[in-house]
């Protein structure tokens, strides 16, 4: 950050400073934030737990409730969080979640 001459202002919010800081640092270090889309299908018994855990990882771009009570959604998450996302889903659903990388 010193080489890129980035100064952090403690009186500004993090959200305001993230984009400008990343732009300055990208000149020195090639940084890329890849987003991936994952389709998930959660049985009805576990939808409440999974639904509330999704915002920790990313955002739901599309969702649909099935006739059997299951929940199908497309979730957009940072690529680096894929493994943690899958682990959390399996933990919450006892391995009964279905996922597909889009």
**Residues 75 and 42 both lie in one domain:** yes
- Same domain? 91 vs 75: yes
Query: For residues 20, 25, 27 and 30, what is the CA-based torsion angle, rounded to 10 degrees?
Result: -120
Residues 91 and 30 sit within 8 Å (Cβ to Cβ): no
Could you read off the pLDDT of 54-92 as tens digits, one per residue?
Answer: 998 889 999 999 999 999 999 999 887 889 999 999 999
Q: Which domain holds residue 6?
A: 1-32
Q: Are strands 98-101 and 71-78 parallel, antiparallel or unpaired?
A: unpaired
Looking at residue 67, what is its pLDDT? 94
Does residue 40 sit in the same domain as residue 51? yes
pTM above 0.75, yes or no: no
How many domains does the chain contain in total? 2
Looking at the fold, whether 41 and 22 belong to one and the same domain comes out as: no
Do 44 and 24 fall into the same domain? no
């Amino acid at each position: 950050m010193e080489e890129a001459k980035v100064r952090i202002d403690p009186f500004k919010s993090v959200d305001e400073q993230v984009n400008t800081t990343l732009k300055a640092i990208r000149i020195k270090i090639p940084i890329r934030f890849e987003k991936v889309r994952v389709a998930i299908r959660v049985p009805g018994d576990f939808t409440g737990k999974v639904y509330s855990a999704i915002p920790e990882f990313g955002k739901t771009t599309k969702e649909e409730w099935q006739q059997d009570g299951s929940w199908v959604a497309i979730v957009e998450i940072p690529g680096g969080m894929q493994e943690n996302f899958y682990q959390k889903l399996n933990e919450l659903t006892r391995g009964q979640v279905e996922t597909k990388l889009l």
